Structure 1
Amino acid sequence: MKQNIAINGTELVFDELRVPTGTPGIDLYVRNKRPASLHTFMPERTIVMVHGATFSSGSLYDVPFNGMSFIDYLAAAGYDVYALDVRGYGHSARPPEMEQPADQSLPVVNTDTGVADLGMVIDHVLQRRGLEKVSVFGMSWGGTVAGAYTSRNNDKVHKLVLLAPQWLSDGPIPIDSGGPLGAWRLVPVRESKARWLSTAPEHGRATLVPQGWFEQWADFTLAEDPWSSERAPNQLRASNGPIQDIRDYWRVGRKYYEPADIRVPVLLVHGEWDVDVPIELAQALFLELRNAPYRQWAEIGEATHLVLLEKNRLLAFQAIRDFYDRAFEAETAKH
């Protein structure tokens, strides 16, 4: 489905794509937004985005607070933006294990699957636009997916942005509440506000999420999986593969990928109040990105793990846009 929308006076095309995976019954949903006036496509103006371990790309990147989402912001700035839902998330197909009771199967949709799905969508975009490279964005678990993909496919990536990416941890990781893991879990979306606000200092909680935003986000997020409205009202299915990988990699000192193998420019974005990825984890990863041509850090004050959905979201939006915009290579070549 294709439609035109207006954001801040800029006409955007909103296109919805289905990308086959080669697995019978499994295809991937991809939302694409771009300026209606954009007809020449370039690697430096094309972005592919992947989400975290719980919520879809629509939920994290495309809720139009005050009439504009993160994807809208980038598209209005001249970018051709693609945001995929990994299988099991959002509007993508669900593995058969997610249609059965969770305790009947082992965790599904692990990081290997996420990397494979991202790769298939990137290849689709490259072919669709006649390009050799795209820029990539990933948040949280999606930062692992995007980082791992880039480390193995530098030739297909122009620039990489990681928001609160996972890294090795000596302490508990909040998303893993312990106990046996089934194929998937139910996430109580409408009850999640208290936990979200609790990650900020007490003095910052009242203003962290502007009035009405949480309710708008919750409605949008639950609509991403209509299954929930019939079988588990106000709850969302999420695959447990990423949590199993926390146990198999991040909590036991095993790197899922080697950041030193990333050889493209990298921006790491982090929120001051992020307890899911504390600053020392993000700094440790940043130091490992030693073979990037250049790397930057953007710390967003008064922000949690969900900075893109909070009052200071525009600070993150601007830092990310500036990084993608900057023709740094051309500038350094002149000196």
Structure 2
Amino acid sequence: MDQTIPAHAYRPDLVSEDFAIPSDTAGISLHLRNKRAAAQKAFSAERTILLVHGATYSSASLFDVPLGGRSFMDHLAAQGFDVFALDVRGYGGSTKPAEMDAPPQNSAPLVRTDVAVRDLASAVDHILRRRGIPRLNLVAMSWGGSVAGAYTAANNDKVVRLALVAPLWLLNSPAPIDSGGALGGYRKVPVLDFRERWLAAAPEAARASLIPEGWFERWAEASLASDPQGNAEHPRVMRAVNGPIQDIRDYWGAGKALYDPNDIRVPVLLVHAEWDRDVTMATTQDLFTSLTRAPYRRWVEIGEGTHMVLLEKNRMQAFDAISQFLAEGGPHGTPSH
């Protein structure tokens, strides 16, 4: 059974709001979701978080599906953080590029990483203006880790701390997300078929218990709901842009970095799970040792988890590692003693 925890058992009343904010491109708006405690009236840089999703699934799908009675956004908001989640253009509630209305072969891969960095910049600037704060914390997963890493390297003054879950970095093996062949503008993702690839990363004996009962189905429904048009045309299928996969081919899979980690000068947390096939332990170690100018850095390795650890039985270990990292220290990222 899905062990559901009543909302009132672990959190104060939360306020949830959705916004459409302008991007730097005419006709493209970006979806931002905000969750915070209803009683929260004062806002600070240290307690403000912006979440960034990966290459396939939207922020709502990864960070705000209430599995076991709570989502990652719920968890952070209940601890007093003012939490925002961004959908880059082409994802979730943000504008889909017009090319996604045509067959994928009619366009080059859409939404490359540099475009996502610009969308992240638009979101950061909007939140800083809205809350009257000079900087915020970034938390990002997978490809989003590349986006947030590149943004931070160029905008250290706007970031308090950077927490990355399985961030995409230089790959030492083929990327499972890339099935090969010519890349069109976008791909069609049969969401329900993903369970097999997800579980395949774990040892056979561990697969039955990796995702608690009912969680995959709830997550899949939320993922499909993020693309009603794609789902309507092809039931149980959603569309995902191919720009991130083209960048894997041109950069991460070819041994070329999209940004220099030495340019990151804020505290950094890396969270990784032992069975992650998409971003291996060796890749994570390479990034960790490259963060030479961070005031301090930390790597948390979670046993019995895959690339999707935020949605698995051991997700609370990741949640707690991230919230602890973001809650510690002084106003400018200096560790407190």
TM-score category, normalised to shorter length: over 0.9
Question: Which whole-Å CA distance do the structure 1 matches of 2:193 and 2:335 have between them?
Answer: 52
User: Counterpart amino acid of 1:289?
Assistant: L
Question: Which whole-Å CA distance do the structure 2 matches of 1:122 and 1:206 have between them?
Answer: 40
**258 and 231 in structure 1: CA distance in 2 versus 1, 3 angstrom threshold:** same
User: Counterpart amino acid of 1:58?
Assistant: A
**Are 2:98 and 1:96 equivalent residues in the alignment?**
yes
**Are 2:71 and 1:64 equivalent residues in the alignment?**
no
Query: 1:264-275 to 2 correspondence within 5 Å?
Result: 264-275=266-277
* Structure 1 match to 2:237: 235
Residue pair 1:7, 1:67 contacting (<8 A) in 2 also:
no
Residue pair 2:329, 2:336 contacting (<8 A) in 1 also:
no
User: Counterpart amino acid of 1:222?
Assistant: L
**Displacement after TM superposition at 1:211 (Å):** 0.4
Residue pair 1:19, 1:29 contacting (<8 A) in 2 also:
yes
**How many equivalent pairs are there?**
331
Query: 1:112-151 to 2 correspondence within 5 Å?
Result: 112-151=114-153
Question: Which whole-Å CA distance do the structure 2 matches of 1:113 and 1:123 have between them?
Answer: 16
**Displacement after TM superposition at 1:150 (Å):** 0.2
**Displacement after TM superposition at 1:7 (Å):** 6.8
Question: Which whole-Å CA distance do the structure 2 matches of 1:164 and 1:108 have between them?
Answer: 23
Question: Which whole-Å CA distance do the structure 1 matches of 2:24 and 2:177 have between them?
Answer: 31
Question: Which whole-Å CA distance do the structure 2 matches of 1:245 and 1:224 have between them?
Answer: 23
**Are 2:256 and 1:217 equivalent residues in the alignment?**
no
**Displacement after TM superposition at 1:169 (Å):** 1.8
User: Counterpart amino acid of 2:44?
Assistant: M
Question: What SS does structure 2 have at the residue aligned with 1:66?
Answer: coil
User: Counterpart amino acid of 2:131?
Assistant: R
Question: Which whole-Å CA distance do the structure 2 matches of 1:12 and 1:288 have between them?
Answer: 38
Query: 1:276-315 to 2 correspondence within 5 Å?
Result: 276-315=278-317
**Displacement after TM superposition at 1:170 (Å):** 3.2
User: Counterpart amino acid of 1:85?
Assistant: D
**Displacement after TM superposition at 1:17 (Å):** 0.7
Question: Which whole-Å CA distance do the structure 1 matches of 2:63 and 2:133 have between them?
Answer: 24
* Structure 1 match to 2:15: 13
Sequence identity percentage: 55
Unaligned runs of 5+ in 2: 1-6
* TM-score, length basis structure 2: 0.95
Query: 1:15-54 to 2 correspondence within 5 Å?
Result: 15-54=17-56
Residue pair 2:264, 2:294 contacting (<8 A) in 1 also:
yes
User: Counterpart amino acid of 2:325?
Assistant: F
Question: Which whole-Å CA distance do the structure 2 matches of 1:59 and 1:332 have between them?
Answer: 33
Question: Which whole-Å CA distance do the structure 2 matches of 1:40 and 1:262 have between them?
Answer: 28
RMSD of aligned Cα (Å):
1.6
**73 and 287 in structure 1: CA distance in 2 versus 1, 3 angstrom threshold:** same
Query: What does the per-residue CA deviation read over 1:41-96, in whole Å, with 9 as the maximum and x for residues that have no partner?
Result: 10100001110000000000000012210000000000000001000000111011
**Where does structure 1 differ by over 3 angstroms across 4 or more consecutive aligned residues?**
328-335
Query: What does the per-residue CA deviation read over 1:83-117, in whole Å, with 9 as the maximum and x for residues that have no partner?
Result: 01000000111011111110000001010011000
Question: What SS does structure 1 have at the residue aligned with 2:40?
Answer: coil
**Are 2:300 and 1:317 equivalent residues in the alignment?**
no
Question: Which whole-Å CA distance do the structure 1 matches of 2:93 and 2:264 have between them?
Answer: 30
* Structure 2 match to 1:107: 109
* Structure 2 match to 1:203: 205
Residue pair 1:7, 1:72 contacting (<8 A) in 2 also:
no
